[in-house]
Amino acid sequence: MAGPKVAFVSADQPSARKALRDLEARYGAGAPEEADVIVALGGDGFMLQTLHRFMGNGAAIYGMNRGTIGFLMNNFDDKDLLERVERAQHLELHPLRMSARSVDGQQVDAIAINEVSLFRETRQAAKVRIAVDGKVRMRQLTCDGILVSTPAGSTAYNLSAHGPIVPLGAGVLALTPISAFRPRRWRGALLPHDARVSFEVLESRKRPVSAVADDTEVRDVATVDVVEDRSVAAHLLFDPEHNLEERILKEQFLG
């Protein structure tokens, strides 16, 4: 029986480009658009780019680390690649969908695998009203920003903002403030994965705010809605000894 069709893509850094040349010389240079498995060579940022690029075509992404941290990547080894792909464990991630409306009425939709974040644009703190499933839960949060994170993204910016690490199977999203001023001691919330989170930017012209879904930024937003999009999925492959669920669990016990 024939194995899966494999293709390779790489980031621009020299180590990733060299790995691309070596692997294509050994295993062939298939077209990513026709592949069953796409091997992404780079770091976590490039992995997110690859997931966004190929999310709609059903291919599984097997990352190999040619970057720095490589939290979403497998270890790099150019030997026995097809065997590793065959025995890899499959993980399906559903992204967040952001619907942002700017103060001038522009509507922008984007998806985020890690998080959707709101940030103040000027020296003045942002003022944000927060509703969950249509019910206002916080009338005014004064802050540098706020984010909604998926479990997969909970160890990224969410963790840097002192948000909780969320196991993949927990079925929750993390709502985490960024440098909250009032209420000063509010640390955020855990929400059901199917919750719809709505942000209203108060004094939006005086205190402008940007909304960012992974690498899509919308300036001067008035409202932002965030919900998990179950109609699309990112498919990742991990070596059994290097699976993402274990790494997220392990992160909770690190100092």
Domain map (residue ranges) of the chain: 6-93+233-251, 96-228
Mean pLDDT across 198-210: 97
User: Is 44 a residue of the active site?
Assistant: yes
What is d(CA 28, CA 57) in angstroms, rounded to the nearest whole number? 21
Kindly indicate the confidence band of residue 1, based on its pLDDT and cuts at 50, 70 and 90. Answer: very low
Mean pLDDT across 244-254: 82
pLDDT for the residue numbered 255: 62
pLDDT for the residue numbered 249: 81
Mean pLDDT across 64-86: 91
Q: Choose, from 12, 44, 133, 214, the residue flagged as catalytic.
A: 44
Torsional sign, CA 182, 227, 162, 125: negative
Instruction: Please determine, for residue 167, whether its predicted confidence score (pLDDT) is greater than 50.
Output: yes
Mean pLDDT of the chain, nearest integer: 93
Instruction: Please determine, for residue 242, whether its predicted confidence score (pLDDT) is greater than 80.
Output: no
pLDDT for the residue numbered 54: 93
For residue 54, give the H/E element and its range.
helix 44-54
CATH number of 96-228: 2.60.200.30
Mean pLDDT across 243-249: 82
CATH architecture of 6-93+233-251: 3-Layer(aba) Sandwich (3.40)
| 115-156 confidence digits (pLDDT tens) | 999 999 999 999 999 999 999 999 999 999 999 999 999 999
pLDDT for the residue numbered 145: 98
Q: Which of 200, 197, 186 is nearest to 150 (CA)?
A: 197
Which residue matches tokens 């719809």? 196
